[in-house]
Structures are given as C-alpha cells and as structure tokens.
C-alpha cells in the first residue's frame, strides 16, 4: 500500500488526496524509516532558510569587502 493510500491526506496540510492524484513521498525517520505522502510541492520539512542559520562546515564565503 502506498503512503498516499495509507494516509489519505497530505502530511503537510491535511488536504485529502483525490483518487489518482499525483503525490510525492518524503522519508521521515522516527525510530524506523517511514514515508510521508504529500501533495506535490508540499513538504513537512521546514523551509530552507534564506539566510544561513546554522554554520556549515566548509569554506566561508568572505563578506563583500568594501575596500576603497
């Protein structure tokens, strides 16, 4: 049984799936790996921050130096 048929609603917003509706599945780890069905373009993940909130390992992009 697909995640969509099991859930019947979008894991993101709760909108009921219609028969034959295209859905996307995203992994969700909760003790075991589960899959959540969502409407296309929906996600249960938090939106990616525009600004970096958590520093990532790797080369820093130097700030634009206003060197005059």
Per rule CB under 5 A, is residue 39 in the interface with Zn ion? yes
The single residue listed with the structure tokens 């993940």 is 45
Count of residues interacting with Zn ion (CB under 5 A): 5
Per rule CB under 5 A, is residue 13 in the interface with Zn ion? yes
Structure tokens at 62: 């130097």
Nearer to Zn ion, 40 or 55 (CB): 40
Per rule CB under 5 A, is residue 34 in the interface with Zn ion? no
Structure tokens at 36: 């959540």
- Classify 22 as helix, strand or coil: coil
Structure tokens at 4: 């969509």
Per rule CB under 5 A, is residue 45 in the interface with Zn ion? no
């Amino acid at each position: 049984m697909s995640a969509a048929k099991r859930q019947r609603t979008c894991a993101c917003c709760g909108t009921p799936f219609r028969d034959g509706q295209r859905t996307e599945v995203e992994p969700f780890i909760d003790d075991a790996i589960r899959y959540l069905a969502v409407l296309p373009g929906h996600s249960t993940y938090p939106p990616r921050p525009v600004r970096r909130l958590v520093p990532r390992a790797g080369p820093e992009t130097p700030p634009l130096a206003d060197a005059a």
